[in-house]
């Protein structure tokens, strides 16, 4: 057991820091600090800056643009970028469909899709959930019927994040209605421009447009867009969801938010004293920091064990990362709400290219309540915290 | 011990519930929201016809002599209905100031105008740096020609954009946070020197930033003894906090109901999700948090009119602390147990979550009131 990074790892960290300092555009960084969502253009710009450096898909195989970094270096890189704070890369390409394609896809698919993911030339979205298939994902009903060299897709997906920008959607579809639930599912790549696809926005409680319903009406998809084997899609989905859980603790991001909350609490006065000088407030903040440190160590343990595990088999302890990681993301945003107090109440409208002037109170307060509302999502998506607990109870505790 | 409502109180509650059921379903509410001030003038008139706007005023002032219990009943029903009407601003806050600070002549003059709905009032009190301190007033009132001249900026004035009249707190003497030296002034919202900028809050209600620039107030519009208004403000804010707790109880009751209903209908894995024991227990924990909030709100309601200021203060802080904690838990779990649909603007439950969250920000959050109780040596006296 040794907590220290090696000299090589420290040099690497410094290199990443220096790169972020020089290359993360100031306007994007500012936006992130203030708690605004990065725009599509921000995401594209930042991904391309990273890709030029060869760091956009660092965890991929070298052949497809990966770096070959050790898990510890991957971790350092993630931490530093989130702490910068830089936008998180669009996960649907980089962390989800990309790994599925390079693991289970054919050569033609790898060549066709992977470079465009790395450079965000193509925007991907995830078409898994349906109105009737959330936690019980395997009950999905969207069908793909083989007709000659095409699949004809019919059905509906929902909660599709940022589908409004998407060029492509990766889907779980039912190809064998007669088979058992998990066994008749295939993994299909669909061009969003194909006739018969309709995207309808869903407005969330914070007033944002982040998720969508996507409808499929006799959508003709070339059979070559099938990934891997027909009716084996569930295996690929499990592999993908396993990858999703590892990055989901967002420890670096919570650290960055803690710094932000400290800074705000130092700027906001409660009568004679600064909020940060209130011992009750400091204790609440300290507890979040303690829990986060413990989680960081759990993350390290999972990472260290991961390099020794069979690929594609997620560590059940990674469910801890999702549960605690999401709780802490929520806790720090709730604490920010306490800091803003009454000044979080005004609603600041998000307009197409930015935001209106904040109607009242300090500038920074306008994103606080929306973030508190919006981050309720992190314990719902990616396998809800209740589902994560079911997994731990079964897989770890044997209950 | 008696927690039963009187016949009259039950009729009052039923009539507000019925009005909200008839006029404030989710679609109607969307229409009301589009009104010029974000509520419905039609429903407001019905509030007046039902006597709700006259409720807390004494019979001598043309009211019905209702007390904190009656206000609690109305506010809880408005919480259930997710009302957008300026009842809290006009009747609870400004009605309270008028009752606690107004001279008999002032009450006789203004109470009937609030009660009839003819004039809507808003309380222009909070400022950029006042946070939860109700004694923090920097706006200045300078004596001139037998009256006063007001200068300053007021923030987060609930329904300030729709108000015909404002009750403005301003300092006649002392420093920013002195309890002594605060006065209350009735100001026509359209008077020269008053500038208002209205905006929406997170929960769809509206507020305004108000600037007062050399606003003249004549002697008869000075509410109570200038410089001695703190007690009236504290009494009124205390009653208002309890009323807000009741509204929050209404919101939480709705969130809990909707969640339990959802658990009974939503199916995953071939069964209703309400059959999962983990979720049953969570719904029970929400129920516990709700009932704790309801109980302490009743407690504070019954003590809100007590003449023992110390007892009153502690009861009010206890209520706001418990209700604040319950708001967070019930709200967060209501969303969680709905899954993705809980996150949508289309579903009612998220709107209750937001209303309750904004109520939590009014008059001090749970931490603020817990600190008050702790500093006072606890609840038992
Ligand atoms: C903001 C946001 C973005 C999303 N983005 C995407 C996306 O891009 N692509 C995509 O495919 N999906 C996406 N999702 C969907 C997400 O994965 C689902 O919301 C999630 O799987 C939960 O499903 P559900 O919403 O149907 O809730 P349900 O499954 O109906 O769950 C409702 C409640 O029941 C609980 N529950 C369910 N089953 C059990 C059980 N067995 N034991 C105990 N409790 C249980 C849940 O935890 C939850 O609290 C997104 C969701 C959100 C909120």
Q: pLDDT tens for residues B184-228? A: 999 999 999 999 999 999 999 999 999 999 999 999 999 999 999
pLDDT digits (tens), chain A, 399 positions: 677 888 999 999 999 999 999 999 999 999 999 999 999 999 999 999 999 999 999 999 999 999 999 888 988 999 899 999 999 999 999 999 999 999 999 999 999 999 999 999 999 999 999 999 999 999 999 999 999 999 999 999 999 999 999 999 999 999 999 999 899 999 999 999 999 999 999 999 999 999 999 999 999 999 999 999 999 999 999 999 877 555 678 999 999 999 999 999 999 888 889 999 999 999 999 999 999 999 999 888 887 777 666 555 566 677 789 999 999 999 999 999 999 999 999 998 765 455 566 678 888 999 999 999 999 999 999 899 999 999 889 988 999
CA distance B283 to B295: 18
Q: Are B95 and B56 in contact (CB under 8 A)?
A: yes
Of A203, A272, A386, the CB nearest to B278: A386
Question: Which residue do the tokens 């090589």 mark?
Answer: A8
Helix, strand, or coil here: B148?
A: strand
Interval B72-111: pLDDT, tens: 999 999 999 999 999 999 999 999 999 999 999 999 999 9
Q: Phi and psi (nearest 5°) for A299?
A: -60, -45
Give chain A's end-to-end CA distance (angstroms, integer): 31
Phi-psi region of B29 (alpha: psi -120 to 50; beta: other; left: phi over 0): alpha
State both tokens at B236. Answer: 């009124």
Residue A223 is encoded by which pair of tokens? 């059979």
Distance A129 CA to ligand 1 centre (A): 8
For residues B20 and B28, give the distance between their C-alpha atoms in angstroms, rounded to a whole number: 10
Which atom of ligand 1 is nearest to A135's Cα?
A: 29
Helix (H), strand (E) at residue B118: none
Backbone angles phi, psi at A144, to 5 degrees: -130, 115
Both tokens of residue A86?
């830089």
Contact B177, B163 (CB under 8 A): no
Under a CB-based contact definition with an 8 Å cutoff, are residues A261 and A335 in contact? Answer: yes
**ipTM of the complex in this document:** 0.97
The two most distant CA atoms of chain B are separated, in Å, by 78
Note whether A33 contacts B: Cβ–Cβ < 8 A. Answer: no
Q: Catalytic residues of A, which ones?
A: 244
Q: How many residues does chain A have?
A: 399
* Cβ neighbours of residue B46 closer than 8 Å, sequence gap 6 or more: B19, B23
CATH superfamily of the domain spanning A7-89: Acyl-CoA dehydrogenase/oxidase, N-terminal domain (1.10.540.10)
The neighbouring-strand residues paired with B271 are B268
C-alpha span between A29 and A23 (Å, rounded): 10
- What residues of B are in contact with residue A369 (Cβ under 8 Å)? 202, 354, 357
Note whether A207 contacts B: Cβ–Cβ < 8 A: yes
DSSP H or E stretch at residue A209 = strand A209-222
If DSSP codes are grouped into helix, strand and coil, which group holds residue A231? coil
SS3 of chain B: helix, strand, coil, percent, to 5: 55, 15, 30
Angstrom distance (rounded) from CA A167 to CA B32: 39
Q: Is A39 on the interface with B (CB under 8 A)?
A: no
**Among the listed residues B203, B214, B230, B224, the one whose alpha carbon sits nearest the alpha carbon of residue B358:** B203
Judge whether B168 and A358 are in contact, CB under 8 Å: no
Q: Helix, strand, or coil here: A334? A: helix
* Residue position matching structure tokens 């270096």: A73
- Max Cα–Cα distance, chain A, nearest Å: 77
CB atoms inside a 10 Å sphere around CB A148: 8
Instruction: Show the ligand 1 pocket: residues with CB < 6 angstroms.
Output: A 125-126, 128-129, 134-135, 159-161, 210-211, 377, 380-381, 384, 386-387, 390; B 266, 268-269, 273, 276, 278-279, 336-337, 339-340, 343
Q: How far is the CA of A182 from the centre of ligand 1 (A)?
A: 18
CB within 8 Å of B308: residues ≥ 6 apart: none
pTM: 0.96
Contact B20, B254 (CB under 8 A): no
Measured between beta carbons, which residues in chain B are less than 8 angstroms from residue A270?
131-133
CB A314 within 8 A of CB A242: yes
Within 8 A by CB and 6+ apart from B359, the residues are B203, B244, B245, B247, B248, B251, B323, B327
Q: Are strands B165-171 and B121-124 parallel, antiparallel or unpaired?
A: parallel
- Taking the C-alpha atoms of residue B229 and residue B171, their distance in angstroms, rounded to an integer, is 10
Q: Where are the domains of chain A?
A: 7-89, 124-231, 245-396
Q: What is the CATH number of domain A124-231?
A: 2.40.110.10
Q: Is the distance from CB of B274 to CB of B264 less than 8 angstroms? A: yes
Architecture category of domain A245-396 in CATH? Up-down Bundle (1.20)
**Please, which residues bridge with residue A185 across strands?**
A174
Domains and their CATH numbers in chain B: 7-119 (1.10.540.10), 122-227 (2.40.110.10), 231-376 (1.20.140.10)
Judge whether B358 is closer than 8 Å to chain A, CB to CB.
yes
């Amino acid at each position: 057991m040794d907590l220290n990074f090696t000299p090589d790892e420290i040099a690497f960290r410094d290199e990443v820091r220096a790169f972020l300092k020089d290359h993360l555009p100031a306007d994007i960084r500012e936006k992130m600090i203030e708690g605004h969502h990065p725009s599509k253009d921000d995401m594209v710009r930042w991904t391309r800056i990273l890709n030029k450096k060869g760091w956009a898909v660092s965890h991929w195989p070298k052949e497809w643009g990966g770096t070959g970094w050790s898990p510890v270096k991957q971790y350092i890189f993630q931490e530093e970028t989130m702490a910068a704070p830089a936008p998180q890369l669009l996960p649907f390409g980089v962390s989800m469909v990309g790994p599925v394609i390079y693991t289970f896809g054919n050569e033609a698919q790898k060549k066709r899709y992977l470079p465009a993911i790395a450079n965000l030339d193509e925007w991907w979205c995830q078409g898994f959930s349906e109105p009737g298939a959330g936690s019980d994902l395997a009950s999905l009903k969207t069908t793909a019927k083989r007709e000659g060299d095409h699949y004809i897709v019919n059905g509906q997906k929902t909660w599709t994040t940022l589908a409004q920008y998407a060029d492509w959607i990766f889907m779980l579809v039912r190809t064998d209605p007669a088979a058992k639930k998990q066994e008749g599912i295939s993994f299909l790549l669909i061009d969003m421009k194909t006739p018969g696809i309709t995207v309808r926005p869903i407005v969330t409680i914070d007033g944002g447009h982040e998720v969508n319903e996507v409808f499929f009406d006799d959508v003709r998809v070339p059979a070559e867009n099938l990934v891997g084997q027909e009716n084996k899609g569930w295996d690929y989905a499990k592999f993908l969801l396993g990858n999703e859980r590892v990055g989901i603790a967002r420890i670096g991001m919570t650290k960055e938010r803690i710094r932000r909350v400290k800074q705000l609490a130092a700027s906001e006065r409660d009568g004679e004293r600064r909020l940060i000088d209130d011992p009750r407030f400091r204790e609440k903040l300290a507890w979040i920091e303690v829990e986060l440190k413990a989680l960081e160590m759990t993350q390290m343990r999972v990472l260290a064990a991961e390099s020794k595990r069979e690929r594609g088999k997620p560590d059940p302890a990674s469910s801890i990362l999702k549960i605690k990681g999401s709780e802490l993301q929520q806790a720090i945003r709730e604490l920010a709400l306490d800091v803003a107090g009454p000044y979080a109440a005004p609603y600041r409208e998000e307009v197409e290219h930015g935001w209106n002037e904040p109607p009242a109170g300090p500038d920074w307060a306008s994103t606080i309540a929306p973030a508190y509302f919006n981050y309720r999502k992190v314990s719902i998506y990616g396998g809800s915290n209740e589902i994560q607990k079911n997994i731990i109870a079964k897989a770890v505790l044997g209950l | 011990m008696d927690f039963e409502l009187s016949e009259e109180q039950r009729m009052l509650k039923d009539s507000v519930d019925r009005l909200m059921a008839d006029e404030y379903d989710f679609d109607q509410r969307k229409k009301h929201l589009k009104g010029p001030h974000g509520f419905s003038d039609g429903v407001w008139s019905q509030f007046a016809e039902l006597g709700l706007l006259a409720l807390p005023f004494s019979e001598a002032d043309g009211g019905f002599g209702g007390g904190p219990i009656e206000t609690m009943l109305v506010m809880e029903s408005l919480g259930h209905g997710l009302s957008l009407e300026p009842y809290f601003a006009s009747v609870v806050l400004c009605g309270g100031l008028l009752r606690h600070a107004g001279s008999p002549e002032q009450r006789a003059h203004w109470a009937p105008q609030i009660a009839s709905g003819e004039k809507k009032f808003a309380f222009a009190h909070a400022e950029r740096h006042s946070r939860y301190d109700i004694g923090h007033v920097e706006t200045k009132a300078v004596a001139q020609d037998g009256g006063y001249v007001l200068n300053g900026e007021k923030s987060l004035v609930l329904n300030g954009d729709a108000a015909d009249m404002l009750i403005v707190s301003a300092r006649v003497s002392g420093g920013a946070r002195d309890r002594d030296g605060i006065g209350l002034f009735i100001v026509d919202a359209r008077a020269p020197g008053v500038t208002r900028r209205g905006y929406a809050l997170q929960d769809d209600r509206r507020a305004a930033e108000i600037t007062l620039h050399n606003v003249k107030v004549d002697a008869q519009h000075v509410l109570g003894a200038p410089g001695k208004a703190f007690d009236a403000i504290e009494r009124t804010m205390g009653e208002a906090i309890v009323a807000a707790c009741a509204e929050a109880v209404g919101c939480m009751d709705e969130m809990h109901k909707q969640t339990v209903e959802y658990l009974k209908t939503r199916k995953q894995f071939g069964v209703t999700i309400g059959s999962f024991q983990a979720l049953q227990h969570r719904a029970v924990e929400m129920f516990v948090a709700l009932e704790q909030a309801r109980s302490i709100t009743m407690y504070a309601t019954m003590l809100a009119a007590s003449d023992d200021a110390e007892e009153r203060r502690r009861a009010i802080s206890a209520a706001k602390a418990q209700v604040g904690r319950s708001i967070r838990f019930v709200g967060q779990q209501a969303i969680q147990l709905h899954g993705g649909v809980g996150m949508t603007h289309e579903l009612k439950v998220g709107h209750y979550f937001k209303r309750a969250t904004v109520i939590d920000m009014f008059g001090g959050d749970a931490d603020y009131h817990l600190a008050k109780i702790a500093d006072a040596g606890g609840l038992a006296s």
